[in-house]
Amino acid sequence: MAQSQGTAIGWAMGTGAAEALGRAASNRTLLDRIAAVFFLAIFLFVAAYTWVRPDYNWDMVAYIASALENRTETPEQLHAETWKAVSEGAREAQLYNLQYGNPYNRHQWENPADFESQLPMFRVKLGYIEALRVLEPITGITRAAILLSVLPALGFALICLFWLGRENALQGAIILAPALIVADVFHMTTAVTPDMLLALVSMGALYLLARKQDIAACLLLFLSVFVRPDNIILIFALLLTAIAFGWRLLPIALTFVASFAACLLISKLGGHPGWWAHFYFSCVEIQNSMTNFHPDFSLVAFIKGYARGAAVALLDNDWPPLFLAILAGWALLWRAGRAGTGRENALMFALAIGTLGKFASFPLPDDRFYFVFLAGMAMLLVVMWKPRFDIAPGKA
């Protein structure tokens, strides 16, 4: 008898728990909040990890050196000040890798003049360099660089959540988070480069464009080329989209002209070696010194650079399959009659051609160079889809 009563009580408790879980699973507000907390927790984790254990890499060293150039007079002084700043924060293994990890790193560590010759390719990120200088008196130069990854990552997360909330698509954060992880948001944040700051500014611009606030969006787009001049590709893709989809043309056309002029001016003032020399360095053969490096154009080297970029992208990176997966998702939404607004589809088109244009203009294979485009496409896909987990099958 006692056993029967115990079984009955257990069954009743199990049924009650199942009903409670069922009610929770059908509570839209609760699931929205869970999705938002899940999404934000991921970014808080990666921000905290970056602050505690940042990835000291070669690009970080070059950006710090670029920020210190305005107070040094000789390559030797700049080299010493840069490595002093880096050494104060880097762990022993990181410092050894930066100085001796490969022949290129060792050469830059042992040759101050050649080290300085590399900086024009980094100096052109003028807005990022100036932001480092502004923060340096408060945090120190290395912590300023880390902070300029941490804060933009958190800002980026908040923009995503705000956008999803405005579109009643907060539960889509559960889908968006892994897409952004595949797109390389973790490594972009920990690597301490301008990439997360660019992602923050660009995602803000895309949100404003989706809301048809074109003037404000164009101001952010213009600012973005001071973070990374190669974001001119996104602006050009948006210009082509405005022409193709009948947007108001004047704001984006003026933005493109102003941004292009700014890029030319920044490159000239920063002593950038030019597209072909930079292409050869990054995509064909790395150079220990960029002083007077002006190689003749070579069709063989040109093809080699694209072949290398395509091979490494397909073998070692995730952006090509993610790009195709997002396009497939967009096509499926079209077939299901849930393709979103005309502006959203136009932005998807802009980001799709921008992704291809980014590779076509400079075939670097790393995921981070395509993050702005893929993150925007993933966001738009989720906004169009508006996935809901609080609706029973067949009742959507």
For residues 274 and 393, which has the higher predicted lDDT (pLDDT)?
A: 274
Residue range 271-289: average pLDDT? 96
Report the predicted TM-score, pTM, of the whole model to 2 decimal places: 0.91
Q: Among all chains, which residue has been given the structure tokens 């164009």?
A: 218
Residue 261 has pLDDT above 80, yes or no: yes
**Rounded CA gap, 243 and 238, in Å?**
9
Helices 195-210 and 342-361, axial angle in degrees (round to 10): 150
Scored b (16 or more CB within 10 A) or e, 39-65 reads bbebbeebbeebeeebbbbebbbbbbb
Residues in the chain: 396
Condensed to tens digits (0 to 9), the pLDDT of residues 5-48 reads 555 555 544 555 445 444 555 578 999 999 999 999 999 999 99
Residue 29 CA from chain centroid, whole number:
30
| The total number of structural domains that make up the chain | 1
Q: What DSSP designation does 186 have?
A: H
pLDDT in tens, 53-88: 999 999 999 999 999 999 999 999 999 999 999 999
Residue 340 counted as domain residue:
yes
**Residue 390 within a domain:** no
Q: Which residues of 97-127 are buried (b: 16+ CB within 10 A; e: fewer)?
A: bbbebeeebeebbeebebbbbbbbbbbbbbb
Q: For residue 3, give both structure tokens.
A: 């056993």
Give the tens place of pLDDT for each residue, 334-356: 998 888 889 999 999 999 999 99
Average pLDDT taken over every residue of the chain: 92
Q: Domain for residue 312, yes or no?
A: yes
Q: Does any domain span residue 18?
A: no
Residue 393 domain flag: no
Q: Are 392 and 26 in contact (CB under 8 A)?
A: yes
Q: What's the CA gap between 254 and 196, in Å, rounded?
A: 26
Given a contact cutoff of 8 angstroms between Cβ atoms, the answer to whether 201 and 227 are in contact is yes
Residue 365: pLDDT over 90: yes
**CA atoms lying within 13 Å on the CB side of residue 228:** 20
Mean pLDDT of the 364-393 span? 91
Q: What is the pLDDT of residue 338?
A: 86
177 touches 38 (CB < 8 A): yes
Angle at 388 between CA 385 and CA 394, to 5 degrees: 100
Please give the residue that has the higher pLDDT: either 138 or 396.
138
The C-alpha torsion from 248 through 249 and 252 to 254, rounded to 10°, is -130
Give the pLDDT score at 339: 82
- What pLDDT was estimated at residue 388? 87
Give, in degrees to the nearest 5, the angle at Cα 115 between 126 and 188.
Answer: 50
- For residues 297-321, average pLDDT: 96
pLDDT score for 3 = 54
Residue 142 maps to a domain = yes
Assess contact for 151 and 132: CB atoms under 8 A: no
pLDDT band at 393 (very low <50, low <70, confident <90, very high): very low
Token pair recorded at residue 126: 């003028």
Does 20 reside within a domain?
no
> Could you tell me if residue 276 is inside a domain?
yes
Instruction: Report the percentage of the chain scoring pLDDT > 90.
Output: 88
Task: Provide CB contacts within 8 A for 254, sequence distance 6+.
Answer: 218
**Token digits of residue 82:** 């840069």
By residue range, what is the domain housing residue 46? 31-385
- Give the amino acid at 81: E
Those residues with Cβ within 8 angstroms of residue 287's Cβ, 6 or more apart along the chain or in another chain: 280, 281, 293
Q: What percent of the chain has a predicted confidence (pLDDT) above 70?
A: 92
pLDDT for 272 equals 95
Lowest mean pLDDT among 213-222, 247-256, 331-340, 342-351: 331-340
Indicate the range of 8-17, 109-118, 226-235, 320-329 predicted with least confidence.
8-17
Query: What confidence score (pLDDT) does residue 213 get?
Result: 96
231: Cβ contacts below 8 Å, ≥ 6 apart? 198, 202, 221, 224, 225, 372
pLDDT of residue 394: 45
